[in-house]
Chains A and B, each alone.
Chain A
Amino acid sequence: MSSFKAFDIAGSGMAAQSVRLNTTASNLANADSVSSTAAGVYKPRHPIFEAVRAQLATAGTSQAQPAVRVRGIYESTAPASQRYEPGNPLADANGYVFAPAVNVVEEMVNMISASRSYQNNVEVMNTSKDLLLATLRLGQG
């Protein structure tokens, strides 16, 4: 039924934003996970969103359900930063450890943005629910 579309849309938005929150949490948690090789270091992850409607329209589906979805999570290719810590047990032969290229400030901004967007979607869902319930009570009072 078309009246419930708003729930699907807001739900997809909440799902996408929670994926974003998850990647942000993972990036922040691993911000200090050092490694002894440049290849083995943690790579920051970021989701890519896309609008579902545009994708379905090109596929020629008439039942295009507008929403948002996570197309994928890509790993950042930014080079790991090198730190000279000869006392670290993980240090390589030259005394260097490799720290992931996590930009903590950027991740915090991402987190706040995702949280606000999530709240927006919750608000949309609440309002839609109230309106739908009011519509169900139509003619009763």
Chain B
Amino acid sequence: MPLNLDQYIGVHAAALDVRARRGELIANNLANADTPGYQARDIDFRQAMARAAGDKSVATTLSTTQPGHIGGAASANAATNPDLKYRTPLAPALDGNTVDAQIEQASFAENAVRYQATLTFLNSKFRGLMTAILGN
């Protein structure tokens, strides 16, 4: 029976991708911590993971009601990506900036640790595979 590597790795590859995107987003929030009018954003992890896992109920596609219709795929564009949400500000600055540097730092650290956890999962998967291949 051939081994399906995608199935073997499971959800971790997609999780790594979502974690990397979330890291970029929080990095952007921190870079714009002093930009007037900038609104902090974050990723809806549950929704993004569900989409990555192929759950059609959360995927934003055009509905195809006629045979000739083309179902557009979900856009990866940051402006229209439905996984991206705005943070609810605790204390927005007078210039309209809603970045709370402490919250962003905490989220970034949390995201980094979870990214490393996903990497560890992936590594152990590969190690198991190598054990099975080499047999020692």
Contacts and interface: CB of A to CB of B under 8 A. Distances in A.
A120 B33 contact: yes
Interface residues of B, number: 33
Interface string B102-136: 00110011001001100100110011000000000
A124 to B, nearest CB: 5
A95 to B, nearest CB: 40
Given A62-B77, A134-B119, A141-B123, A117 B27 contact: no
Interface bin, chain A: 35 or more
Contacts of B28: 9, 51, 53, 66-68
B34 A6 contact: no
B76 to A, nearest CB: 10
Contacts of A120: 30, 33, 101, 104-105
Greatest chain B CB density within 10 A among A5, A9, A12 is at A9
A124 B119 CA distance: 18
Contact of B122 (A53, A124, A138): A138
B79 interface: yes
Interface in B64-115: 77-79, 101, 104-105, 108-109, 112, 115
Interface string B8-50: 0000000010001001111110111111111000000000000
Contacts of B36: 48-50
Contacts of B127: 141
Interface in A6-62: 6, 9-10, 12-13, 16-17, 20, 48-51, 53-54, 57, 62
A2 B23 CA distance: 11
Contact of B77 (A64, A67, A121): A64
Interface of A: 2-3, 5-6, 9-10, 12-13, 16-17, 20, 48-51, 53-54, 57, 62, 64, 66-68, 113-114, 116-117, 120-121, 123-124, 127-128, 130-131, 134-135, 138-139, 141
The 10 closest A-B pairs by CB, nearest first: A13-B31, A139-B126, A49-B35, A66-B28, A9-B27, A68-B31, A6-B27, A124-B27, A68-B32, A51-B38
24 contacts: A5-B24, A9-B24, A9-B27, A10-B27, A12-B31, A13-B30, A20-B34, A49-B35, A62-B77, A64-B77, A66-B24, A67-B28, A68-B31, A68-B32, A117-B34, A120-B33, A124-B31, A127-B109, A127-B112, A135-B16, A135-B119, A138-B122, A139-B122, A139-B123
Interface of B: 16, 20, 23-28, 30-38, 77-79, 101, 104-105, 108-109, 112, 115-116, 119, 122-123, 126-127
